Amino acid sequence: MDKVRKFIWFPTPYHSILLWVVWQILHDFNHGHMVLGAVFAIVIPWIAAPLSEKEPVAKKPLKVLTYVFRLLFDIVVSNYDVAKRVLQSNRSLKPAFIAVPLAINEPLPLTIFTSSVSLTPGTVSVELSEDRQWLYVHVLHLEDEQLLINLIKHRYETPLKEIFGC
């Protein structure tokens, strides 16, 4: 057993705010639910915070916004791409596995990175190597391997590295 933690009123302030806002959206900003939501937002982190590890906080909030909009745009583009492949014949398909070298290895940025890869240009992240240096990705239609790796790294990994400063 490690030693008893010091009591903190707001162990995870961002989560508290998020919890409160989500609760309000679910209950249409009702006055009674504002109080109830506040109680939950304070009490739940007391219980939940010791269970989770410390995660890096986004250091550049503005970049997060540009990242989100870029991701949404890419999702729409990749949808169009995949839809085109669906309507074409299967024979023109060139599926492949590729290995993307990773420059980030903290859990939260890595999760966001692999999720972004799964959501965009005909790629699904399949597996990580044990040392977290490589991400294996399945590609629906591969034309130029190196080009795709550079694109993924440049579009998602570099901004994530800047956002989390790791």
Partner 1 sequence: MSIFLEIVVSVLLILGSIVTLIGSIGLAKFPDYFTRLHAPTKASTVGVGCILIASMIFFSVELGHVNLKEALISIFLLITAPVAAHMLAKAGLHYKVNMEDNTQNQHLAKKAYLHQSPDDE
Q: Is 134 in the site for partner 1 (CB under 8 A)?
A: yes
Q: Is 40 in the site for partner 1 (CB under 8 A)?
A: no
**Which pair of tokens denotes residue 99?**
């290995």
Q: Is 110 in the site for partner 1 (CB under 8 A)?
A: no
8 vs 34 by CB, closer to partner 1 = 34
141 vs 161 by CB, closer to partner 1 = 141
How far apart (Å, rounded) are the C-alpha atoms in residues 50 and 12? 10
**Which uninterrupted H or E stretch holds 125?**
strand 123-128
Q: Is 108 in the site for partner 1 (CB under 8 A)?
A: no
Q: Is 25 in the site for partner 1 (CB under 8 A)?
A: yes
- Out of 4, 47, 51, 87, the only residue in the binding site for partner 1 (CB under 8 A) is 87
DSSP annotation of 91: G
103 vs 128 by CB, closer to partner 1 = 128
